[in-house]
Amino acid sequence: MKRYTTLATIAIAVFMAGAYLTIAAQESKESAEQAKLAKQAKIPMEQARETALKRAPGKVESSELEREHGKLVYSFDIRNARGTITEVQVSAITGKVVRIEHESKKQEAAEKKKEKH
């Protein structure tokens, strides 16, 4: 019985180490991609954040630099006073707002669920 317990412990440790290495590799890849995109941006994220908050006042819950529909944009999820999220995308090249999308509570829940998977 002790032998099986030891084998199970070793198997769990190997599995956990593999999972950790996979996560670390993914984070490294994402970080490298962000660095590559940041080199292409003409305006800093802080300037884009200020622009986004002027269009949708609230608290920025998340932000990222991404390429969407062929455009390099800063994307901000801003929670407003009503508690809903407004996503504001600001061009990382021109500094102008290129898209605003209001999410309902249902859409927000679906997006969070999708991000977990």
**Tokens coding 30:** 């994402």
Task: Tell me which residue of 80, 83, 25, 91 sits closest to 53, measured CA to CA.
Answer: 80
Instruction: Give residue 46's pLDDT.
Output: 96
Local confidence pLDDT in tens for the 117 residues of the chain:
566 666 666 667 565 655 554 555 565 666 777 778 778 889 999 999 999 999 999 999 999 999 998 999 999 999 998 889 999 999 999 999 999 998 877 777 777 777 776
Q: Do the beta carbons of residue 92 and residue 40 sit within 8 Å?
A: yes
Instruction: Give residue 82's pLDDT.
Output: 87
This prediction has a pTM of 0.66
Full 3-state SS string of 24-75: HHHHHHHHHHHHHHHHHCCCCHHHHHHHHHHHCCCEEEEEEEEEECCEEEEE
Instruction: Give residue 17's pLDDT.
Output: 53
Instruction: Give residue 114's pLDDT.
Output: 73
42-117 CATH fold:
Nuclear Transport Factor 2; Chain: A, (3.10.450)
